[in-house]
Amino acid sequence: QVQLVESGGGLVQAGDSLRLSCAASGRTFSNHAMGWFRQAPGKEREFVAAIDWSPGRTAYADSVEGRFTISRDNAKNTVYLQMNSLKPEDTALYYCAADRTFSDHLNNKPAYWGQGTQVTVSS
């Protein structure tokens, strides 16, 4: 199985930037599509971004496209989420996810999840 550990969350002001990291276990990381999801209090978990294992196609939620960038470093078994121009509505617990299939991320059904890292954006 795949084990995921997120880091990089914190408290920032609107307009600031953060980069989240997700470290994955195992030597099969490069064969998994990776994604980021988030959940705010009182709301359902929502898709944020995903990146395929080959050739690295990406997808973003409309709410973050143009501001967030997902990337991966297979040599380090790590996926990143660069978040720019943060808004208070970006405040949520952010989860890293992994799945063999890119489409499962788009369908909000990845197989593996991390424990989450909190991102709080003040106005």
Residues 80-104 have pLDDT tens digits of: 999 999 999 999 999 999 998 999 9
pLDDT of residue 29: 74
Burial class of residue 43 (count of CB atoms within 10 Å of its CB; 0-12, 13-18, 19+):
exposed
8, 114 Cβ separation under 8 angstroms:
no
pLDDT tens sequence across 25-64: 876 777 889 999 999 999 999 999 999 987 689 999 999 9
Q: Which of 115, 112, 71, 117 is nearest to 94 (CA)?
A: 117
